[in-house]
A and B are shown apart, each in its own frame.
Chain A
Amino acid sequence: MRKRGKIEGKYYIVIFFLVILVILGLLIYLVRDERRTSLIEQVLQDSILFVQKMVSAPIHFVTDKLSESKEKNDIYKKYKELQTRVEQVGSIETKNKELESELQEMKTLLELNQTLSESTPISASVITRNIDGWYQTITIDKGVQHGIAENMAVVTGKGMIGEVIQVNNFSSTVKLLTSVDENHKISVKIEGNEGYIYGLLSDYETGNQVYKIEGIAENTEIKEGASVVTTGLGNTYPSGILVGTVTQVKKDHFDLARTILVKPSVDFNEIRYVTVLKK
Chain B
Amino acid sequence: MYAIIITIISFLLEGIFSFYISIFSHFWLPIPTLISVCFCHVYFLRNKNYIWYTFLTGVLYDIVYTNTLFLHGILFVCMGYIGKKMSQFISHTWYQFLVMTILLIGIYRLLSYIILIIIGYLHFNPSFFLSITLASFLWNITYSFLLYVIDHFYLKKFTTKRLF
List residues of chain A with CB under 8 Å of any chain B CB. 23-24, 26-28, 30-31, 33, 35, 41, 44-45, 48-49, 51-52, 55-56, 59-60, 63, 126-137, 139, 165-166, 173, 176, 178, 181-182, 206-207, 209, 268-269, 272
Contacts and interface: CB of A to CB of B under 8 A. Distances in A.
Contacts of A268: 23-24
Given A55-B16, A128-B18, A131-B17, A166 B67 contact: yes
A60 B16 CA distance: 9
Contacts, number: 112
Given A24-B118, A35-B69, A134-B132, 4 more contacts: A45-B63, A132-B29, A134-B116, A178-B24
Contact of A27 (B19, B60, B119): B119
B107 interface: no
Contact of A24 (B21, B60, B115): B115
B29 A31 contact: no
Closest 7 CB pairs of A and B: A133-B132, A129-B18, A128-B15, A31-B68, A30-B69, A28-B119, A131-B18
Name, among B19, B69, B116, the residue most crowded by chain A CB atoms within 10 Å (CB to CB). Answer: B19
B86 interface: no
A30 B116 CA distance: 12
B30 A131 contact: yes
User: Interface on chain A toward B: helix, strand, loop, or mixed SS?
Assistant: mixed
A131 B119 contact: no
A135 B131 contact: no
B65 interface: yes
Nearest to B132: A133
A272 B18 CA distance: 11
Interface string B127-150: 110011001100000000000000
A269 to B, nearest CB: 5
Contacts of A182: 123
A3 B127 CA distance: 48
B67 A135 contact: yes
B4 interface: no
Name, among A27, A30, A129, the residue most crowded by chain B CB atoms within 10 Å (CB to CB). Answer: A27
A134 B24 contact: no
B19 to A, nearest CB: 7
Contact of A127 (B15, B22, B60, B122): B15
Nearest to B25: A131
Contacts of B119: 24, 27-28, 31
Given A132-B29, A173-B67, A206 B60 contact: no
A27 B24 contact: no
Contacts of A126: 19
B105 to A, nearest CB: 12
B71 interface: yes
13 contacts: A26-B70, A31-B121, A44-B60, A59-B16, A129-B19, A131-B21, A131-B23, A131-B29, A137-B66, A137-B67, A139-B64, A181-B123, A209-B24
B96 interface: no
